[in-house]
Amino acid sequence: MSIRENVYQVIDEIKPENILVSVFDKSGLNELVKGILDFNGRAKFYSTGGTGKKITDILGEKAGENYISVEDFTGAPEMEGGLVKTLHPKIHAGLLAERGNPDHEEYLCKTLSKMGGGPGVYFDVFVGNLYPFTAVVSAEGTTPETARVNIDIGGPAMTMASAKNWHSIAVLTSPSQYPDFLQSLKNNNGAIVLEQRFEYAKQAMKSIGDYRMAIGDYFSRLDFQRDVKPLLNIK
């Protein structure tokens, strides 16, 4: 494994053009999507499932021009149960790629094209919030199996990838951030600046830490023989 610091010039202002969206809480999406389009009418939104339907409803007749489903983008259908749809090199390369890094640009443009379905893109913004694990396990009658299936995998992975790469992408993890984000675009001629991306990244890292801590705390309290085994159909 090779780990090294970013040696390429960091861009201060990034104008949202490719926006990846994966949210459980869809409140505020109408204002966010339309607000971004006010600054860049060519912006493209990438999503899947219920989020994708919400965005296409918001876009209306513009959906054909401004929306791309993740499945069409990656060329890979989701697995039954809504699984693995965003766990794909085209998604994570777009979140992790360093701008100005020629090797990363070649990977996005050439290597991914060889996999089929066209080249990748630099994602400029990731908008994501997670399955409500803490709310689920707080509800009366919740079983360990209900808790297990409400563990979000793709969401935290995309959130942390975006937060790690705040040099190149903005990450929004709560609808409460959308007004501030749109105001930042207004204040900076339609761009999101480096300092603001760092602030969003800090909040994203904290949210993922809290989320994973809640999962660990819940399962660490369970006894397999008492709490888990009786509810399973074991062969």
Q: What is d(CA 115, CA 127) in angstroms, rounded to the nearest whole number?
A: 26
**54: alpha, beta or left? (left if phi > 0; alpha if psi -120 to 50):** alpha
Measure CA 203 to chain center: 14
Q: What is the mean pLDDT of the chain?
A: 95
Contact between 48 and 69 under an 8 Å Cβ cutoff? The reply is yes
Give exposure, 17-44, as e/b (b: 16+ Cβ within 10 Å). Answer: ebbbbbbeebebbeebbebbbebbeebb
> For 68-84, what is each residue's pLDDT tens digit?
999 999 988 888 887 88
13-231 is classed CATH 3.40.50.1380: yes
Enumerate residues 6+ apart whose C-beta is below 8 A from 150.
131, 132, 133, 136, 137
A 10 A CB-CB count for 58 gives: 20
pLDDT at residue 55 above 80? yes
Q: What is d(CA 133, CA 146) in angstroms, rounded to the nearest whole number?
A: 10
* Terminal-residue alpha carbon distance, the chain: 39
Domain boundaries along the sequence of the chain = 13-231
A 10 A CB-CB count for 181 gives: 20
Enumerate residues 6+ apart whose C-beta is below 8 A from 227.
144
pLDDT at position 78:
83
pTM (2 d.p.)? 0.94
pLDDT at position 3:
83
Round the CA-based radius of gyration of the chain to a whole number and report it.
Answer: 19
* Mean pLDDT within 95-108: 96
> For 161-217, what is each residue's pLDDT tens digit?
999 999 999 999 999 999 999 999 999 999 999 999 999 999 999 999 999 999 999
* Mean pLDDT within 139-148: 94
* Mean pLDDT within 18-39: 97
Alpha helices per DSSP H over the chain: 29-39, 49-59, 63-66, 70-74, 89-96, 102-106, 112-114, 133-138, 144-149, 154-164, 178-187, 194-220
For β-strands 125-129 and 18-23, DSSP reports them as parallel
pLDDT at position 131:
85
Tokens representing 1 are 């494994």
Contact between 25 and 50 under an 8 Å Cβ cutoff? The reply is no
